[in-house]
Structure 1
């Protein structure tokens, strides 16, 4: 009986100790809890990067504003308690931007403002909105994965862009030579400008709206149920495998269509 009483007393003491520890942890957590005004206040923080970065990888629920400028700079914005959750790591020419740890239900979206002298590659695996402007060069590869949205405006001799998932990709390519587009999933690619050659590969239910991208030669390979609009001045080489439709503007002289399925081609 005495042994049982000792065990009971020990458990009671242990319970009080655990209650005290829990109270201390909750008190310390208060500054970053959802009800904390200080933790909810907006702030910003500069991060160190250099001009070697030409390849950017973005992941997580972050809005990115990426601009061309003579000096490289990076600033993160958001609630004070969430700034430490934004991870920015540079390894030579590669810059990774993402999140770490637990995001405590922020009321305001995380945002990164990035300035780089040049850009050669951008990979976005994010649910946020990305805006890219001001860059030019020989070649750019731009890939969107997931449900985010990317808006791009730039001038490159060759542009390769892809949308994989349910996100939307909006491209203003200016005047360029070659545009390569790939759509996999249910998203949408919208392209404008002018080019000599447009090659488009589409798989799934996603749509391509390139009616405002005036191309001399167009090649489209459509597999699925999506709808494509293109503008071809000289030639259009079209392959349809499925129920998707292709609408061709520009009245090109050279027309080649290979069709298997219920999809249709219309000319204007």
Structure 2
């Protein structure tokens, strides 16, 4: 009797082990068209989620540009850092390519502004909106810094400067100093801000600090030697680094 009981228990265990896989197989077989349709919809659902995330990034960029007053727009603000941190979280889901596409759009927009609009306060404000948005994208794309530094586009080089403003330890002091010889005033004003942020960055060695101060001093001499009226905002930033003044105003184009 005991042997029969053991046999029945063993048979029941085998049937139990087989039943669930068999039931799943029959379910998949019966509903294979429905399952196939659902699986085929997964990529489009993911695309919609990604599209919504990209749209959210664009909204963040517009908001941060709207939030900065003209008086504060010249400097990196806590609000810009906060938006940059949120976008960095989005990058983990989106990957870098959508963010690069958005940064490249801003670069092209900057180049178009310089090409198509006359110099003046309106153009400067529009350019400042662009650089504020570039800053918010920059920490997420810092690994692409060299590509933007080497670009023939002024907008792309501005993006590189924005990266260095947001990540001061990445600042290429020699390259930034070179901006004062070859760029329009708007870019070398922001190059001056990048140098200042690098100077204020905690943990920088005394050798690097001295390198930055010397670069600022040479840049100041170069700006003051330009024909015509030198850019006052750039001079103020550079003098702050050399003699410790504190007045900083938005740059001009």
TM above 0.5: no
TM, length-normalised to structure 1: 0.33
Which structure has greater strand proportion? 1
Structure whose residues are more often helix by fraction: 2
Tell which has more relative contact order, 1 or 2 (C-alpha 8 A, sep 6+).
Answer: 2
